[in-house]
Structure 1
Amino acid sequence: MNNADRSIQSAPKEQWRRNIVLFLSSQTISLFGSSLVQYAIMWYITLNTKSGIMMTLYILCGFIPTFLLSPVAGVWADRYNRKVLIMLADGMIAMSTLVMAILFLFGYKEAWLLFAIAAIRALGSGVQTPAVGAILPQIVPADRLTKVNGINGSIQAVIMFVSPIVSAALLTIATIEAIFFIDVVTAAIAILTLLLYFRIPSHPKASDQPSTSYFNDLKEGLAYIGRQAYLKSFFKFMAVFFILMAPAAFLTPLQVTRSFGDEVWRLTAIEIAFSVGMMAGGGLIAAWGGFRNKVHTMTLATVLMGVCTFLLGIVPVFWIYLAFMALFGVAMPAFNTPTMTMIQEKVDENYMGRIFGVFSMISTSMMPIGMLIFGPIADAVDIEWLLIGTGVLILFLSIFLGRNQPLLEAGKPAVQESSASS
């Protein structure tokens, strides 16, 4: 048991519960403001440029910085105080948004400014994601990680559901600058909550004087992955999985407009169905906890996503299509929650940030790479065939996941469930 585990286990139950409530509350407030801005900018570009190229540039600006920075940010999350990193990332995002709001108020509304803010926000996300993933095991007892990750997934699903609705409503009654200022306020609230009320000691390595370079730390992190058979298998699986998920993630709105109709309510309906499914799935996994072996839960979720992807390619009725989209949403937290928990339980505390950095790099890059593959094909082949094909391949991939011995070993419970900590 590492030092962080000892501090958690020795702390009163009320202390870790208070800490996780404060932490998740601050992150929820910050994420809500960020989501409002993200949707507002996306719709602003869509309405004012009506250009697919401009939207593509915006998407690229939103993921390339995260992809490039994540490995280095993982080193930072292992070297430095993770709470401070999260606050700095929130502060950087809020400051860039404030500058953007002021420039817009003075009439500077060039498109390149929106691309710049997307890139800066992506840098902040690249710093924040490994730090958040690595800090949770410091706060939460090991036998409560699955439940907390499930609750966090449900919160994120609610924000995904509410944010576009609220953002659209605000744009009808206020300016985009007002939404920018909302993000600044929510970020300030989140930072002050962590600064004034959230008490957690630094992880052990953050107290040590760094004796190696960033590059050497990064190499050590990659070498650690190389020594862990389950991590090598898992990251290979995730790379292929995210590529195969690209058609279901990005091409279904285009499929709906081509096959069912181009009414706006249909596009809204698929987003709502997916978000409601995610909320239900997050609640289910938080209450149930999944199978004792986390890989079994991940495999079941992968099978569900493969089946849903396949069925989205063949169902002829829109209402049935929505039902499978909702089921797809249920499967997402059933996959993500045990995945996060397995990493948090199994990875050495000294490497946690770097592992989450690599995980973030894979998760932010593979779907866009998948779109580079499947996007052009979608102009020559019916999207239904792409969904059928990738659905079948995801089902085959689930066999690899469910029969991989190093992963099955890693998926076993790290601790015995104890009523004493409930």
Structure 2
Amino acid sequence: MEQRAVAKRMRVFIIIWLGQLVSLVGSGLTSFALGVWVYQRTGSVTDFSLISLFTTLPLVLVSPFAGAFVDRWDRRKTMFYSDLGAGISTIAIALLLFSGRLELWHIYLATAVSSICKAFQLPAYTAASTTLVPKEHLHRVGGLTQMGQSVAELASPVLAGILVVTIQIQGVLLIDFCTFCFALITLLIVKFPKYESTNVDAIKKSSLLGDISSAWHYITTRTGLLGLQIFFAATNFLQGIVEVLATPLILSFVSPAVAGSILSIGGSGMLFGSIVMSIWKGPKRRVNVVFGFLFLNGLSMIVAGLRASPALFTLAVFLFCYGLPMINGSNQIIIQRKVPLNLQGRVFALSKMISGISFPVAYLVAGPLSDYIFEPLMAVNGPLADSIGQIIGIGKGRGIALLFIVIGTLTMIATVIAYQYPRLRRVEDEIPDISI
């Protein structure tokens, strides 16, 4: 591909990426603000945690169908209407809030609608980026994509905390709607390049279930690719428990203000990891990046649970977050390099379902595991107070700390076991690269 053409397509991607970045920040503002609203009104952790469930579950369940539609539809238009749908749900919440009629179930419903829109937007965005840049530049796309998510996750809570106080939740919702409008404008002013598909007529004539079945057949007949997604499902379950319990653990030995600073500093690891990934091409086998950083994540979880130390916990969070863009970006690059363009929407969506189905389960079991098993074990007079308690401490939060150590150990063991499977370890050698 000529250098001028490459530069032009990269400019198109940067414009789209910027629009999605602004939209992600806006969505993060609303998510934080609505969470505060729910918790202040109900005082219930369960009601608060259900927002995470409604954010994740519809996305996972709808993804296979969304991916099939993405491969049938124009991907730019799919992204446009997905962003539009999410923006409308935000406006609906704002109107209900302004009129004093906002109820808890309205927030759950709007969150679910936004999650369904995201199920269409994500595979369309990722598959479209494959057509925009040549194969040798996919690491930049992956790094920038992960960077956008990192910036949103870091900036949104800080900005939302300030804005909720100054302009209240109504103002936050208005800002979020403006960010959706910005994303829509960026999609209107760019054109996506056409890609040649050898199966255009077959796609048009096939049924929706047939499309989903073809993606399932593609993944399951490539054992290494299927093994990679199952491996992610297992580690995502463990990671999901850690994500839910990280804040309660740190609040057990520092104040909320210090906790926010620690999580912000530690979370900056995601941004650094994204920057490094966008610059560093990485090894020939991207799957080795996945293995290496998942092993590091397991070690980070163990470090976080060893001591009630703010410095140690900050280091653990930083290392954990640093590895996330490396892991997720490498998985994205593997699929972009190996899956035909006319199948990428379906395969991305189906892989998202396989690897992400464990997150809702993790969100549901994290609380009971902590409250009814691990915290009582590490209570002052608990069964493990005189043994493990002598090493990691006893009292509030130390049961969660023990759970972190157990989960970190399981993550490292799972990584070692997965590495022993030859089909997974050699997934990039067994599946040929597509021509882009």
Paired residue for 2:104? Answer: 111
2:230 alignment partner in structure 1 = 236
- Check the 8 A contact 2:63/2:350 in 1, yes or no: yes
1:326-380: CA deviation from partner (whole Å, max 9, x where unpaired): 1111111121111110111011222211111122223443122123334312112
State whether residues 269 and 318 of structure 2, in contact with CA within 8 Å, keep that contact through their aligned partners in structure 1: yes
Structure 1 CA distance for aligned equivalents of residues 95 and 244 of structure 2: 33
- Any conservation in 1 of the 2:83–2:117 contact (CA below 8 Å)? yes
- Secondary structure of the residue that 2:357 maps to in structure 1? helix
Match of 1:225 in 2: 219
The alpha carbon displacement at 1:257 in A equals: 2.2
Counterpart amino acid of residue 16 in structure 2: F
**Range with greater deviation from structure 2 (148-157 or 369-378):** 369-378
| Alignment coverage as a number of residue pairs | 408
Task: State whether structure 2 residue 369 is matched by structure 1 residue 377.
Answer: yes
Q: Which runs of 5+ in 2 are unaligned?
A: 375-398
Deviations 1:200-228 (A, max 9, x none): 33663796462121111111211111111
Deviation at 1:154, TM superposition (A): 1.8
1:132 to 125, 141, 160: 125
Please tell me whether residue 408 in structure 1 is matched to residue 425 in structure 2. Answer: yes
In 2: Cα distance, 1:401 partner to 1:328 partner? 19
CA 1:103–1:207: 2 relative to 1, 3 Å: farther
Q: Deviations over 1:100-141 (max 9, x none)?
A: 212221221222211121111111111111111211111111
| 1:249 equivalent in structure 2 | 243
Aligned residue number for residue 280 of structure 2: 288
Structure 1, unaligned runs of 5 or more: 1-7, 416-422
CA distance in 1, matches of 2:293, 2:29: 29
Aligned position for 1:32: 25
Q: TM-score, normalised by structure 2?
A: 0.88
1:9 Cα deviation from its structure 2 partner: 6.5
2:81 matched to which residue of 1?
Answer: 88
Change (3 A) 1:10 1:75: farther
The offset of 1:300, in angstroms, is 1.1
Residue 66 of structure 1: which of 42, 59, 62 is its match?
Answer: 59
Q: Secondary structure at the match of 1:109?
A: coil
Alignment check: 8 A CA contact 1:61 1:119 kept: yes
Of residues 149-158 and 296-305 in structure 1, the stretch that sits farther from structure 2 once superposed is 149-158
| Aligned-partner SS, 1:204 | coil
Shift >4 Å, 4+ stretches: 8-11, 205-209, 412-415
- Is 2:390 the counterpart of 1:392? no
The letter of the residue matching 1:35 is G
Cα separation, 1, equivalents of 2:214 and 2:4: 32
The aligned runs of 1:194-343 (5 Å cut-off) are 194-201=187-194, 204=197, 208=201, 210-258=204-252, 260-261=253-254, 263-343=255-335
Distance 1:404 1:273, change over 3 A: farther
Of the three residues 167, 175, 182, the one matched with 1:174 is 167
Corresponding residue of 1:420: none
Q: Could you tell me how far apart the structure 1 residues matched to 2:5 and 2:41 are?
A: 54
Give the Å deviation of 1:87: 0.5
> Does structure 1 retain, via aligned residues, the 8 Å contact 2:60–2:352?
yes
Deviation per residue, 1:136-187 (Å, 9 max, x gap): 1111111110122112212321121111111111111112122112111111
For 1:203 and 1:124, how far apart are their aligned partners in 2?
27
User: TM-score scaled by structure 1?
Assistant: 0.91
Question: Could you say what secondary structure the match of 1:92 adopts?
Answer: helix
Judging changes above 3 Å, is the alpha-carbon distance between structure 1 residues 291 and 43 closer, same or farther for their aligned structure 2 residues? Answer: same
Of residues 336, 339, 363, the one that matches 1:344 is 336
1:148 aligns with 2:141: yes
Aligned-residue RMSD, C-alpha: 2.3
Does the 8 Å CA contact 1:313/1:384 hold for their aligned counterparts? yes
Aligned to 1:51: 44
CA deviation after TM superposition for structure 1 residue 11, in Å: 7.1
CA distance in 2, matches of 1:275, 1:410: 31
C-alpha spacing 1:150/1:414, structure 2 compared with 1 (3 Å): farther
> 1:195 and 1:399 mapped to 2: Cα distance?
47
Answering whether residue 375 of structure 2 is matched by residue 358 of structure 1, we say no
Is contact 1:78–1:206 with CA below 8 Å preserved after alignment?
Answer: no
| Bigger mean CA offset, 344-353 vs 84-93 | 344-353
Shift of 1:48: 1.9
Query: SS where residue 411 of structure 1 aligns?
Result: helix
Contact 1:275–1:329 under 8 Å retained in 2: yes
Greater Cα offset, 268-277 or 339-348:
268-277
Q: Percent identity?
A: 24
Note if contact 2:263-2:314 (Cα within 8 Å) is conserved in structure 1.
no
> SS at the partner of 1:200?
coil
